[in-house]
Amino acid sequence: MNFFISDAMAAGEAAPQGGGIQLMIMILIFFAIMYFMIIRPQQKKAKEHKTMLDALSKGDEIVTSGGILGKVVNIGENFVELKVSDNSAIKVQRNSIGTVLPKGTMKSA
C-alpha cells in the first residue's frame, strides 16, 4: 500500500481539469483592476498637468519639480524663463513645472 499516490492516479485515470473559461475570466478581471487602479489615474494626472502647462502665462508664480520657486517672465515652446530673485533669472524645461501657486505666494515666502 502506497500512501503517496491516490487510488485514482494509480489506476491511470486523469485528474479533473478546470475550465479554460474560468482562467480567461480571471485574466480579464485582473487587467480591468490594473486599468482602473494604475493606468487610468496616471492618464488623468498627465492630462491635468498638460492643461496646467497650456494655461501658463507671464506673471504666474510656480514651483518646479526640483523645488525652485519663481515668477514666469518669458514662455517659449519648450522652455520657461523664471525670475527667482531681483537680479537673477533661470530657464527651465516646461515639463519640469510642478504646480502653479496663487498670486502673492512669493512675497510671503
Please tell me the distance from the alpha carbon of residue 21 to that of residue 80, in angstroms, as a whole number: 54
- pLDDT tens digit sequence for 56-107: 999 999 999 999 999 999 999 999 999 999 899 999 999 999 999 998 888 8
Query: How confident is residue 109, by pLDDT bands cut at 50, 70 and 90?
Result: low
- CATH topology assigned to domain 57-108: SH3 type barrels. (2.30.30)
Sketch the domain layout of the chain as residue ranges: 18-53, 57-108
Please tell me the distance from the alpha carbon of residue 64 to that of residue 100, in angstroms, as a whole number: 9
Which residue type sits at 69?
L
- pLDDT tens digit sequence for 7-63: 555 555 555 566 789 999 999 999 999 999 999 999 999 999 999 999 999 999 999
